[in-house]
Structure 1
Amino acid sequence: MTLTTEAQEKTLNQIPEEIFTQLLLSRNNLSGIELIKVNLSEANLVGAELSSANLSGSKLKGANLSYAKLLQVNLQNADCAEASLFEANLSNAQLAKINLCGAFLWRAKLTRTNLLAASLCETDLSEADLSFAQLTEASLIGAYLVKTNLSEAKLCGAKLQEANLTRANLCNADLRWANLTGADLTEANLEGANLYGANLTDAKLFNTIMPNGAILPNNLAVA
């Protein structure tokens, strides 16, 4: 049985939280549902339909949201540390100040997603699509961004120390005042990117395409 959004909202105040998980597991269409500050830690939500849902402030630590549809979802201030979001679709989502540290978002879609001041330390975003994403002041220390699409992304003031950006697409990205200390930019494409005030101390720039289109030679590191 598929519940309507109105019926879902009325029911949520009458049933315990473990039932929420059962609803999600039953593959009901929960688009637009209100689940503010709900505890769904370790929940199995593979393939869940939660587009436009409000999960702000909720706890989803260690939850499995692989293949989930989360378009325009509100996960602001949510705790999704160590969650699995393999190939999940979070396009146009509101993820400001979310905690995704240690999470797995390989090949996830985050086009035009708001990740303002998000915590993404040691998060695996390899081959994810973050084009046009808002990542101003986000913390991506030690993050895995191998072959990640960050074209046109706003990374002003972002913390990218020791991040792995090998073969990442950073074309026209805004990296003003970003901290890229020790970051690996091997074969990354920075053409058209704004690096004003960025810290590239000890960054690896092997065969990197720079903002002016020049390709740096092998074995060059910024001291």
Structure 2
Amino acid sequence: MTDDERAEHAARLRGLLYLACPDAPAWAIASTAEAITQHEEPLREASPPVAAHLVRPRQSGTDRLDLNGAYLTGADLSRANLRWAKLCRADLSSANLSDADLSRANLGWAELCRADLNGADLSGADLRRADLRWAELRRADLRRADLRWADLRRADLRWAELRRADLSDAVLRRADLSGANLSGVNLTRANLSGAMLTGATNMRLPTGAIWNWETLWPANLASNVAEHSDQVSPGVYQVRHGGSSRDRDAVQV
């Protein structure tokens, strides 16, 4: 087995072991996966079992869940606590992450930890109502992902792939979507107040979206958005549906 194959095998084992033994300390799971990898041939691919809730490690704050590169496609991670997880390049395609907590964790005085989903495959994943505040999602694949009612405040979505994702009713306040592909994205009632959309590609007029004067639009959309929006509360605007105001209810920002 080559070093690359061994690393991939260990990553997949960590994912399966965390799902099977969610209460085990992170260091124990990592050590077990490494030991198996060193002495066994790769296991055949199999669908991961339904997961219980992943919990904060019992060890120190630095003992984070290491699921980098893990194979978790189709896994049931609904309501899981993944605030401590490292999921860089993990395969979470079609996974159920509804109501999951992937927000920033406080490890102590002035020390913060974000869920790391950079480069993760979340295509077709169910992320309804997921807490993704401050999450790192650079270059993540979120094609066709269901992000309705998700909280993405201050999330890092630079260069993310969001084609045909459903972000209706999502909170994207101060999220960074610069360079993201927003082709066919549903932003109805999404809160884009203070969001950075500079350089976002394939973005059309986001009908129904909510924004304020801190929102930074792609250069080709800025004037068009202002022209087709109505004020819904002081300093807060909503892009019209079908050229007319959808409603004038106050929007809390």
Describe the superposition over 1:114-172 as per-residue Cα deviations: whole angstroms up to 9, x where unpaired: 01100000000000001000100000000000000101001000000000010001110
Quick one: structure 1 residues 170 and 122, their matched pair in 2 at CA, closer, same or farther if it must change by over 3 Å?
Answer: same
Deviation at 1:77, TM superposition (A): 2.8
Residue of structure 2 in register with 1:11 after alignment:
none
Q: Is the CA contact 2:13–2:70 (under 8 Å) kept in the aligned structure 1?
A: no
Which consecutive residues of structure 2, in runs of 5 or more, have no partner in the other structure?
A: 1-9, 38-42, 58-63, 104-113, 230-238, 244-253
Q: Which residue of 2 aligns with 1:212?
A: 240
- What is the letter of the counterpart of residue 241 of structure 2? G
CA distance in 2, matches of 1:103, 1:204: 29
Cα displacement (A) at 1:29: 7.6
Indicate the residue corresponding to 1:93 in structure 2: 100
Counterpart of 2:174? 157
Pick the aligned partner of 1:134 from 125, 141, 151: 151
Query: Is the aligned partner of 1:37 residue 2:65?
Result: no
- Following superposition, the deviation at residue 46 of structure 1 comes to 3.8
Structure number with greater Rg is 2
Give the 3-state SS of the residue equivalent to 1:149 in structure 2: coil
* Cα pair distance change 1:174/1:66, threshold 3 Å: same
Give the direction of change, closer, same or farther, for the CA distance of 1:45–1:163 in structure 2 (3 Å limit).
Answer: farther
Question: Cα distance 1:46–1:200, how it changes in 2: closer, same or farther (>3 A)?
Answer: same
8 Å contact 1:62–1:83 — kept in the other structure?
yes
When residues 86 and 22 of structure 1 are mapped into structure 2, their CA distance, relative to the original with a 3 A threshold, is closer
Task: Using the aligned pairs only, state the percent identity.
Answer: 32
Q: Give 1:21 deviation, angstroms.
A: 4.0
**1:1-223 equivalence runs, <5 A:** 21=13, 24=16, 30=20, 33-38=22-27, 39=30, 46-54=47-55, 57-96=64-103, 97-187=114-204, 190-196=206-212, 197-202=214-219, 211-214=239-242
Cα deviation 1:41-92 (Å, max 9, x = unaligned): 9997743311322266301111110011101111103110011011000010
CA distance in 2, matches of 1:140, 1:111: 17
The whole-number CA distance in structure 1 between the counterparts of 2:155 and 2:172 is 7
Please tell me the residue identity of whatever aligns with 1:138.
A
Please give the secondary structure, in 2, of the residue aligned with 1:195: strand
For structure 1, the 5+ residue unaligned runs are: 1-17, 216-223
Give 2:26's aligned amino acid: K
TM (norm. structure 2) is: 0.66
Instruction: State the distance in 2 between where 1:159 and 1:22 align.
Output: 30
On the 8 A contact 1:183/1:203 being kept in 2, the answer is no
Q: CA deviation at 1:22?
A: 8.4
Say if 2:66 and 2:86, in contact at 8 Å, map to a contact too: yes
Q: Which has the higher helix share?
A: 2
More strand by share: 2
Give the secondary structure class of the aligned counterpart of 1:65: coil
Cα offsets for 1:11-64 (capped at 9, x unmatched):
xxxxxxx8x948937xx9848x32453436999774331132226630111111
Kept in 2: contact 1:106–1:125 (CA 8 A): yes
The answer to whether the 8 A contact 1:166-1:184 is kept is: yes
Counterpart of 1:221 in structure 2 is: none
Check the 8 A contact 1:132/1:151 in 2, yes or no.
Answer: yes
CA displacement, residues 163-202 of structure 1 (integer Å, 9 cap, x when unaligned) = 00100011100110000001124346x2321121210143
Q: Report the secondary structure of 1:161's partner residue.
A: coil
2:168 aligned counterpart, secondary structure? coil
